Structure 1
Amino acid sequence: MACNCYGKNTEEPTFSDRKANPYSHLFKYIMVGDSAVGKSNLLLQFVDKRFSPNSDFTIGVEFGSRSINIDNNQVKLQIWDTAGQEKFRSITRAYYRGAVGALIVYDITRRETFEGLANWLTDCRKYSSTDVTIVLVGNKCDLEASRQVSYAEASSFANEHGLLFFETSAKTGSNVDEAFEQTAKIIFERTKNNPQDNAE
């Protein structure tokens, strides 16, 4: 499950990429949320098992991918990490197209990032496909002493809006794989009954 790429690469996979790294399904994910909630480090942890404590703000979008195995099928997750600043919002919206999974990330130690979730959720549902699987991710759960948003409150928000919910730590890796992989399993089950959902 090695990293295929990570960084400021915004190129779609080529045919040669697929020959070198065969897969039966390709799922596009988009990650959104306010600035500095840890989106880039969640991607880095999932793709490359690393954490960068001094990572810069994302400008526009960054891209990473990783293949996982679901029911003996190689599934490639193509993940687009978007900038959280308002000035990049119009750029971010262009990347919802074709996404079958969306992770809305907030920081459990900064309440304002939780209070902005409704706006991100509105964008997800407005600009993504109608059957996109949306996941609420409360990041930085390793900073329990600084928590400003309770697990129960976030879980209630997720239930109210029909979202999956995970608390994660990009620093320790806690629940990072689970957030991406359980989302992929739900999407995979859906594609069994609706094969055109399987991106090529």
Structure 2
Amino acid sequence: MTEFDDNETKEYLHKIVVVGVSFSLSSIINYLLLIKSTGKTSVIQKYVNGLFSRSYKVTIGVDFALKLMPIDEKTNVRIQFWDIAGQERYGNMTRVFYKEAMGALLVFDVTRLNTFDAVKFWKKDIDQKVFTDKKKPIPTVLLANKIDLIEQDDENWISFREKMDKYCKEKGFIKWFETSAKEDVNLHSATEFLVKYILKNNIKPYKDEEDEQSIQLKEETEEMERNESNSNSGGCC
């Protein structure tokens, strides 16, 4: 972390990946069943821009959004959301998209619990491909989205909810939230919890050896250029 003057505002940049339901484009039946998505793009758009729409197009590849979150009078966090397409888990691109992420939001649709089946696969995908600087899995928050579309006294949902704390502990989620993009339920709370967790635990993105070698080579090259410049600027007769 950069050293700051006590009177300066500290500003951080956190890359957060947002992922959801997985499906294979080669499976027409699965595609038609899951095209409705979990609402992860709606979650981002509502939180970042205050907008909600039922007609967002299916994410292809990755989309981006940026949000400034004031933590206190002297601390701001710029959150860079990476909205990753559901089908990308079946390709090799998630490793690229995950790179240097510091946290993740994993979204499923409470009205279609078959989307919950994909949660364990996404969590495994994240845990295997992106790490903190201490080579540990990045913190991930689970979002049970579209909570506005179910009855809170529904017995199936009550039974499901009672198991969620245990499930999250077993699977390594730091917390879970019931959310609604339409009604703006818990979107700020979930994101704030993740961001503050990252700050509290001083989480930094993992740099692989190739990145470290590139940085070291750059520093050595710059040092050599400075020395050469100083040598050439010396007076001589």
TM-score w.r.t. the length of structure 2 is: 0.67
SS at match of 1:156: helix
Q: Are the equivalent residues in 2 in contact too, given 1:23–1:76 (CA < 8 A)?
A: no
Question: Per-residue displacement from partner, 1:13-43 (whole Å, max 9, x unpaired)?
Answer: xxxxxxxxx9610000001110500010000
Which residue number in structure 2 is paired with residue 109 of structure 1? 111
Which residue number in structure 2 is paired with residue 167 of structure 1? 178
Correspondences of 1:60-79 after superposition (within 5 Å): 60-71=61-72, 72-79=74-81
1:65 deviates by 0.8
1:99 deviates by 0.6
Q: Against the structure 1 CA distance between its residues 23 and 198, is the aligned structure 2 distance closer, same or farther, given a 3 Å change threshold? A: farther
Greater share of strand: 1
SS at match of 1:95: helix
1:92 deviates by 2.8
- Size of the aligned set, in residue pairs, is 175
> 159-168 vs 55-64, which deviates more?
159-168
Q: Against the structure 1 CA distance between its residues 79 and 86, is the aligned structure 2 distance closer, same or farther, given a 3 Å change threshold? A: closer
Question: Per-residue displacement from partner, 1:24-65 (whole Å, max 9, x unpaired)?
Answer: 100000011105000100000110011111111001110001
Greater share of helix: 2
Q: Are the equivalent residues in 1 in contact too, given 2:146–2:181 (CA < 8 A)?
A: yes
Q: Against the structure 1 CA distance between its residues 157 and 89, is the aligned structure 2 distance closer, same or farther, given a 3 Å change threshold? A: farther
Which residue, out of 174, 180, 191, partners 1:180? 191
Measured in 2, the distance between the counterparts of 1:97 and 1:28 equals 9
Partner amino acid, structure 2, of 1:139: N
Measured in 2, the distance between the counterparts of 1:183 and 1:100 equals 10
Which contiguous aligned blocks of 4+ residues in structure 1 show a shift greater than 4 angstroms? 146-149, 196-199
Which residue number in structure 1 is paired with residue 164 of structure 2? 154
Which residue, out of 18, 21, 25, partners 2:12? 25
RMSD (Å) for aligned C-alpha atoms: 2.4
Measured in 1, the distance between the counterparts of 2:91 and 2:66 equals 23
Larger relative contact order (C-alpha < 8 A, sep ≥ 6)?
1
Q: Which of the pair has more CA radius of gyration? A: 2
Partner amino acid, structure 2, of 1:138: A
1:144 deviates by 1.2
TM-score w.r.t. the length of structure 1 is: 0.79
Partner amino acid, structure 2, of 1:161: K
SS at match of 2:148: coil
Q: Are the equivalent residues in 2 in contact too, given 1:37–1:113 (CA < 8 A)?
A: yes
